Amino acid sequence: MERKSVNVGLMGFGTVGTGVVRIVSAHQEDLFKQTGLRIGIHKILVKNKEKKRSLTGYEQLLTTNADEIIYDPEIDIVIEVMGGVEQTKPLILAAIQQGKHVITANKDLMAVYGAEILNAAQENNCDVFYEASVAGGIPILRALVESFSSDRITKMMGIVNGTTNYILSKMSREGADYHQVLKEAQKLGYAEADPTSDVEGLDAARKMAILSTLGFRVPVNLDEVDVKGISHISREDIAYGKKLGYEIKLLGLAQRDDDEIEVSVEPTLVHKSHPLASVNGVFNAVCVHGEAVGETMFYGPGAGELPTATAVVSDLVTVVKNMKLGVNGRGMVAPYKEKKLKTDDKKFSKYFLRMVVADKRGVLAKITQLFADNHISLAQVIQQPHHGGEHAEIVLVTHKISKRDLDLALLYLRDMDVTKEIKSCFRVEEGEEK
Ligand SMILES: NC(=O)C1=CN([C@@H]2O[C@H](COP(=O)(O)OP(=O)(O)OC[C@H]3O[C@@H](n4cnc5c(N)ncnc54)[C@H](OP(=O)(O)O)[C@@H]3O)[C@@H](O)[C@H]2O)C=CC1
Ligand SMILES: N[C@@H](CC=O)C(=O)O
């Protein structure tokens, strides 16, 4: 008998889960027209059934027992939006063993166990899609896997964490206080359960591991992503950046030169003429460069209830269409190429440095000589008195140099008797004018 409907087991009824239920219920007719099947939410897994929820009318579907979803033969598709890794991985693998298709927004899980989960899915002819795991509402994963399938991607660079972009934008535009804005981002549902992973760059690193794995078609482990967060960025860094014509952004970078790749997440001074400099608030953007296509850019909301839920429900539509066609299990291909990581002498960038040094004759000359000795040439230098008078603050921007030369120079610089403190060091990304 031809089936008329599919049933979904939803794991998680928080920010994203609530959005999923709202969209599935509000777009019933559109979803039916596109898939030919009625989509129903059959059960919802939560931690606490008594909790007060922003969406009512679904109380009878709530359960605290994951087995009621995994082993329910009437459920075809599991949507996992509860988060966590160790608690979630066995549930997803068990659901796949039961022949259920899986949709998840969980980058923590997919960045670490993505290959294992995709392989299990393939063995069981199940779909696993995770569009919402990177850049919320932006359809970037599908673009990498499908739209760029004919090209070879050489670079992906972007803002992939909404919480930190929200914080940095407010600090830059309004001079807002870091801790206050972080609280706002939590209230708006942008931040992770533990926001440390947002502000220390780990959330963005997980997304960059997923993007580079899919974009370069090589396995990229989370510990292969160089990570720095935003918690140490000061108002002075933002002010100096502005003075020199830059905005500070937490940028993810994945770059391939021949067969060698580098992947990183770090605060970066982005020149105002670069399109990423004007991506503000919770918005994310990813620039993708392909050998054949050249430069492209994807922009949209990177977090929040409905933007993230749209990505989840679009995955749902794909799974249901695949079910109709009987082609599940062929969507996301596990990486199939060999990978080599670049060493630091092959990673090149411009850098911004801010330091406090003794305000004595010849100090600037000493410092510039040290840079010259380490193959570093300078593009801009600002010197101004540091509070107290005995010290000066030096801010400089280098030309393109290798990471190895930078690290060596920083080592020597720290050892110099005139150096009081190296306050900050950020990558610099130029725009169209330079
Ligand atoms: N928020 C966002 O903008 C985005 C989030 N994501 C990802 O989506 C996932 C969900 O995020 P979000 O909706 O913000 O999270 P929330 O914290 O808002 O919601 C989590 C939900 O999962 C339930 N849950 C958590 N642990 C368990 C457990 N052990 N057993 C049963 N139920 C559990 C909670 O139950 P209860 O309600 O009873 O507490 C809650 O309903 C995460 O992986 C996150 O990284 C991805 C992109 C954007
Ligand atoms: N905490 C994340 C949510 C989406 O992935 C972010 O702020 O981007």
207 is a catalytic site residue: yes
pLDDT digits (tens, 9 = 90+) for 134-185: 999 999 999 999 999 999 999 999 999 999 999 999 999 999 999 999 999 9
Q: For residues 46 and 63, what is the distance between their CA atoms, to the nearest angstrom?
A: 6
Tell me which residues have their CB closer than 6 angstroms to ligand 1.
Answer: 12-17, 45-48, 51, 81-84, 87, 105-106, 132, 136, 189-190, 192-193, 303-304, 308
Position of tokens 């928080």?
14
Residue with tokens 């990471």: 403
Note whether 140-302 and 348-429 share their fold: no
**In terms of Cα–Cα distance, which of 298, 226, 268 is closest to 431?**
268
**Dihedral sign (CA 354, 360, 361, 366):** negative
Has the ipTM of the complex gone over 0.85? yes
Ligand 1 pocket test, candidate residues 21, 41, 45, 46, most atoms within 8 A of CB = 46
What's the chain's average pLDDT?
A: 95
- Given 170, 207, 347, 403, which residue is catalytic? 207
CA dist 92 and 79 (Å) reads: 9
Q: How far is the CA of 247 from the centre of ligand 2 (A)?
A: 20
∠ at Cα 161 (156, 164), nearest 5°? 130
Determine whether the annotation assigns residue 310 to a binding site: no
Q: Are the CB atoms for 288 and 153 separated by under 8 Å? A: yes
pTM above 0.90, yes or no: yes
Residue 269 and residue 246 in contact, taking contact as beta carbons nearer than 8 Å: yes
User: Is domain 5-136+305-325 in CATH 3.40.50.720, yes or no?
Assistant: yes
Atom of ligand 2 nearest to the CA of 284: 8
Measured from the alpha carbon of residue 86, the closest ligand is 1
Q: Is 40 annotated as a binding residue?
A: no
pLDDT of 242-292, one tens digit each?
A: 999 999 999 999 999 988 999 999 999 999 999 999 999 999 999 999 999
Question: In terms of Cα–Cα distance, which of 101, 105, 112, 56 is closest to 78?
Answer: 101
311 near 132, Cβ under 8 Å? yes
**Domain 140-302: which topology?**
Dihydrodipicolinate Reductase; domain 2 (3.30.360)
Secondary structure of residue 250 in the 3-state scheme: strand
Q: Enter the tokens of residue 222.
A: 């989370």
User: Is pLDDT at 433 greater than 60 in this prediction?
Assistant: no
Query: Domains of the chain: which residue ranges?
Result: 5-136+305-325, 140-302, 348-429
pLDDT reported for residue 431: 87
Query: What is the 12 CA–ligand 1 centroid distance (Å)?
Result: 5
Across 134-275, the runs of DSSP E, i.e. the strands, are 153-159, 226-227, 246-257, 260-271
Q: Quick one: fold of 348-429? A: Alpha-Beta Plaits (3.30.70)
